[in-house]
């Protein structure tokens, strides 16, 4: 059962359109769908809101500590509401998936993603769900930083938004603890 959905990204206008903010885009889309607003919460080092999924309260979080320091924000909210790591879904950009692909995963490594690395360190476990939002790969490792810190083209963005909309359709299953159903529905889209 998912009680916290976190979107990873970098705060501020300078970053809002960057591929690295795909996690923020996802939780913003959820907030829009459920007609809720984010509120800055200094005790959580971020902006939070909540929605009702499957008759259960689910918290939304956008850490405002920058990508590389996301873990402290996640830990703060999780501790405050007594949320276990396996009740957390972290939405993030994924270089290793083609644009327009979204995959669910439980646990695993950070794959070089600094937001995941810091989350694993702060929670002292890798036992949380991930929503991996495919942004494609620039082709060479040397180009990765510039790639994730730049905006996708209009066509790319449409594919990313479409994949996120597919993911939004399975969050009810996740909230109810039916990870297998959510994976099946999402991965066969």
For the residues 96-113, what does the mean pLDDT come to? 91
Known catalytic membership, residue 137: no
Predicted confidence (pLDDT) per residue in 135-157, tens digit: 999 999 999 999 999 999 999 99
Question: How far is it, in rounded angstroms, from Cα 50 to Cα 19?
Answer: 25
> Which of 73-77, 87-91, 149-153, 167-171 shows the lowest mean pLDDT across its residues?
167-171
Q: For 180, phi and psi rounded to 5 degrees?
A: -65, -45
Q: What is the pLDDT of residue 140?
A: 92
**What residue has token string 């959820």?**
30
Q: What is the dotted CATH code of the domain comprising 4-187?
A: 3.40.50.1470
Closest CA to 35 of 1, 6, 60, 63: 60
Q: What is the pLDDT of residue 173?
A: 87
- The whole-chain average pLDDT of the chain stands at 93
pLDDT at residue 187 greater than cutoff 70: yes
Q: What is the pLDDT of residue 152?
A: 96
Catalytic pick from 20, 92, 113, 159? 20
For the residues 72-86, what does the mean pLDDT come to? 97
Share of the chain above pLDDT 70, in %: 99
pLDDT at residue 93 greater than cutoff 80: yes
What six digits make up the tokens of 168? 């939004």
Question: How far is it, in rounded angstroms, from Cα 4 to Cα 59?
Answer: 5
Predicted confidence (pLDDT) per residue in 8-54, tens digit: 999 999 999 999 999 999 999 999 999 999 999 999 999 999 999 87
pLDDT at residue 189 greater than cutoff 70: no
Share of the chain above pLDDT 90, in %: 82
Domain locations in the chain? Answer: 4-187
pLDDT at residue 4 greater than cutoff 80: yes
């Amino acid at each position: 059962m998912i009680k916290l959905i976190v979107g990873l990204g970098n705060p501020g206008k300078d970053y809002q359109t960057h591929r690295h903010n795909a996690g923020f885009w996802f939780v913003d889309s959820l907030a829009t769908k459920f007609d809720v607003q984010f509120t800055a919460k200094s005790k959580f080092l971020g902006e939070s809101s909540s929605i009702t999924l499957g008759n259960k309260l689910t918290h939304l979080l956008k850490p405002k500590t920058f990508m590389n320091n996301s873990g402290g924000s996640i830990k703060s909210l999780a501790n405050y509401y007594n949320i276990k790591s396996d009740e957390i879904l972290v939405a993030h950009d994924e270089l290793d998936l083609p644009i327009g692909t979204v995959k669910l995963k439980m646990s695993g490594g950070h794959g070089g993603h600094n937001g995941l690395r810091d989350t694993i360190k702060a929670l002292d476990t890798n036992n949380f769900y991930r929503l991996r939002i495919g942004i494609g790969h620039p082709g060479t490792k040397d180009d990765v930083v510039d790639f994730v810190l730049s905006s996708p083209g209009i066509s790319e963005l449409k594919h990313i938004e479409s994949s996120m909309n597919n993911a939004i359709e399975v969050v009810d299953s996740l909230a109810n603890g039916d990870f297998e159903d959510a994976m099946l529905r999402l991965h066969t889209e």
